[in-house]
Chain A
Amino acid sequence: MTSPVANREAGLADILERVLDKGIVIAGDIRINLLDIELLTIRIRLLVASVDKAREMGIDWWEHDPSLSSGDRDMLEENERLRTRLAALEGERTKTNNGARARTNPR
């Protein structure tokens, strides 16, 4: 009998959701005292201080792009290249037209 359940290998989105949004947060300066004398301060750093901070940075892929894979990454990079190229071309065209007519901003 074939099971209707997909016991899927964990996708990148499943992993990102856990490693970026779950798991405990330990961060900040922690003072270690011995015999009431402060001996040292240990600094625990977190690459991204919080999930909210990550969202501010526009990093919420695990919520919006669950399909991310190496293939999609290539596509994202390709899109990025195309956007850059387009912007360059638009820039040239603007120069050529030299303000002859109003131009709508692409995106």
Chain B
Amino acid sequence: MSDATRTYIYALIRPGDAIVDSVGHDGAPVRTTRRDGIAAVVSTVAAESFDPATADTRMHDLAWLESTARTHDAVVSAAAEVATTIPLRLGTTADDDQSVYELLGKLGAAALRSFDRLDRHVEFGVQVFARPARSSPAPGSETGAAFLRRRQAELQQDETQRVEQAARAQGTFDALRALATAAKQNPLRAAADTEERSPMLLNAAFLVDVDTVTVFRKAVDELAASMAPDRVVITGPWAPYSFAELEL
């Protein structure tokens, strides 16, 4: 690749009078390219930083990935605060601003349909973590038979607990889905969460009307109280990452 710079695209927005005030990758100023009622939120980046040929190295550099992901999200969030926003996947670049302008011509109709769906909505993440596991080994002198009996009982208990937990997680999802415009369950993350250090039971995203946010938060509070000692964690408001779609 001979071109030294490319135009990085963070998001598509329905701009109105919105001015996205944010700083992009490598400290570059964020600007918008507008066409026919939609706009791309962009900044200039070094071509080599986002060259797919070097992705393997880049993506394994956790310091770079963290900083890049946080910047991407910060710009997308800044856009979402002032305009209806369709977030793009991390690492999307075009040859130059002219290419972005042409791209907007191609995407226009689909983007406008998507904006209508996302208008005045935010995304919340809701995760449920299981109560801490029972501290198992009863110390002392146990006969082999007693050990086996206890172990079997424990395993049965664990199985019952898993079924109950799954039901509670599903119940949480259903209750909150009723208050949301759209809802999705994401794959459960395998490892324990930083603070919770216990298995994840639910990893959901909800698209919530801005007028319903207070009600939604209150519902999460009430569910959390009823589900203790399982822990309920809410993150957001996010830009609608999980609900952005573009059908060309």
Contact = CB atoms under 8 A, between A and B. Distances in A.
A18 B245 CA distance: 14
A37 to B, nearest CB: 14
A25 interface: yes
B241 A22 contact: yes
B103 A24 contact: no
Given A42-B99, A76-B62, A16 B69 contact: yes
B93 A44 contact: yes
B110 to A, nearest CB: 10
Given A5-B220, A8-B234, A47-B50, A67 B91 contact: no
B69 A42 contact: no
Interface residues on B, range: 35 or more
A7 B246 CA distance: 30
B99 A17 contact: no
A5 B59 contact: no
Interface string B197-226: 000000000000000000000001100110
Contact of B231 (A6, A16, A19): A6
A21 B125 CA distance: 14
B6 interface: yes
A70 B246 CA distance: 35
B182 interface: no
Contacts of A36: none
B241 A19 contact: yes
A65 interface: yes
A33 B191 CA distance: 49
A44 B125 contact: no
A4 B194 contact: no
B189 A62 contact: yes
Interface string B17-54: 00000000000000000000000000000000011100
Residue of B89, B102, B221 ringed by the most chain A CB atoms within 10 A: B89
- Decide if the interface of chain A is mainly helix, strand, loop or mixed: mixed
Given A15-B70, A45-B52, A63 B187 contact: yes
Given A4-B232, A23-B88, A48-B55, A18 B242 contact: yes
Contact of A5 (B93, B125, B224): B224
A65 B191 contact: yes
Nearest to B7: A44
Contacts of A18: 73, 87, 238, 241-242
A25 B89 contact: yes
B130 interface: no
Contacts of B191: 64-67
A25 to B, nearest CB: 5
B189 A13 contact: yes
Interface of B: 6, 9, 50-52, 55-56, 58-60, 62-63, 65-66, 69-70, 72-73, 76, 86-95, 99, 102-103, 105-107, 125, 186-187, 189-195, 220-221, 224-225, 228, 231-236, 238, 241-242, 244-246
14 contacts: A4-B231, A5-B221, A10-B236, A16-B65, A19-B76, A19-B241, A24-B246, A42-B102, A45-B51, A46-B89, A47-B55, A48-B55, A63-B187, A66-B194
Which 8 pairs show the lowest CB-CB distances between chains A and B?
A: A47-B91, A22-B241, A42-B99, A18-B241, A23-B87, A67-B194, A19-B90, A5-B224
